[in-house]
Structure 1
């Protein structure tokens, strides 16, 4: 369905029982709402109502031109406006990659609208900022940011038959084609890259302490987030917290390890599932 919010039109994909507790799903780059397709059957079977959003830059009706419109506070405001338009007072939030960053900000600044948070791959922004400051390995993993923020990023990612984009998404197999094909749509890749271009130094200090029940899912073969940032996320949650470590999984958790992610999310939301966790990692 199309949701009008903040002068834009967002594509939102709903599913599950109409009377189920609402779950807001927020994707990352270079994916879209479809990255959660493999966990949705489990959520629906548990009686949950899901709303998977194509965020700004991805929904055709929500692609502002100004790079400043992609500061992380803007998609966070979008999420609140979408909940308002849906008539949802409070939702469980599941976010991956940039969607996790939005989730952390929502939980920090709008705890009255977030029942629980399941953040996937990307840690609390303050933990990430610390790791970037003290760990050269974390800074090295973020070297790609400079490329993604550059004017040549579109050509770099789509050139040669989108070889770089395909290589990034290789761990998810055939599903990579979904996102590579979508990124050929005029304006879509630029919209996604503008999240990187719009990032300012203060954005990693904008989220404060989290006071809603939270699960952070990290995978030990994540090429973006190193161990220090993952472990130090605990410092920023003053609520029930679980750190779930997935062994042998890359950054693309929702599609490479959907059953494990569904376990973790359902354990957080309903308490009914067992998780594959390793708090001592």
Structure 2
């Protein structure tokens, strides 16, 4: 594709996208998590562009007014997966897919159902959904994920998270830098965007689990040992969901917010992973 893409579309929704890097470079699709948007990948995307990769960083469903249906049922895993496969279709060729946080869970979902649209998978911070679900029941992960149950309540989470003061400090408590925590808290002061993010948690329980099949695409799982949201147990179970090459990289001394806290280290791992998947020297 020789033209820049400004917007992806699917089912009448419009997803703003930042398309940078060499037009002819291997395509990389980067998916953000909650409570963030496409800004969270900016530093990593710049490094990938310098290495010759073309990056596409969309705002996902719920993160912009043009793609934010109000009901939780529109945020089921099949709908979210459809968004990504539509994006790849508009890029026009298989992509290297990388996601952080909810973006990682969604990336695993795509890789487990539609490996044909991918060159490789990189999941940052969050393991395969089936591994995560099992870890909720068998480890300390359940205690760390208490907020997922809280987010199922009507209206109360919207009210609590509407306080920039509270949300900034809550994010800082997980290791996020003050200025970035304030940035993410400020954008979530908008009720529709706040509800859009919460609907990822609410929509996840509107469909029966469908974990697909172990993916044959090369997988890089990245995790950091100061992650207060995602414990190690689910990470250690994730290899079972990779039918092809699998590698785990643990970043020491880094919090959950890997793309912005450790962009150099993450970009280095991504570039090496992409090159290996494409059969090229790193």
TM-score above 0.5, yes or no: yes
Select the residue among 137, 146, 160 that pairs with 2:149: 146
2:269 and 2:202 map into 1 onto residues whose CA distance is 32
Please say if 1:72 is aligned against 2:72: no
Please say if 1:214 is aligned against 2:210: no
Aligned partner of 1:10 in structure 2 is 15
- Shift of the 186–225 alpha-carbon distance from structure 1 to 2, 3 Å rule, reads closer
2:203 and 2:168 map into 1 onto residues whose CA distance is 21
CA contact (8 A) 2:239 2:246 kept: yes
- State the Cα RMSD in Å: 1.6
- Shift of the 199–38 alpha-carbon distance from structure 1 to 2, 3 Å rule, reads same
Cα offset, 1:4, TM superposition:
2.5
Aligned partner of 2:244 in structure 1 is 239
Deviations along 1:130-180, one digit per CA (max 9) or x if unpaired, are 212222x11101111112222211111122x43234431452331223222
CA contact (8 A) 1:67 1:198 kept: yes
Aligned partner of 1:115 in structure 2 is 119
1:197 and 1:28 map into 2 onto residues whose CA distance is 15
2:192 and 2:167 map into 1 onto residues whose CA distance is 18
Structure 2: which 5+ residue stretches go unaligned? 1-5
CA contact (8 A) 1:94 1:103 kept: yes
1:201 and 1:123 map into 2 onto residues whose CA distance is 21
Please say if 1:156 is aligned against 2:160: yes
- Shift of the 203–225 alpha-carbon distance from structure 1 to 2, 3 Å rule, reads farther
TM-score scaled to structure 1, two decimals?
0.91
Structure 1: which 5+ residue stretches go unaligned? 274-281
1:78 and 1:123 map into 2 onto residues whose CA distance is 20
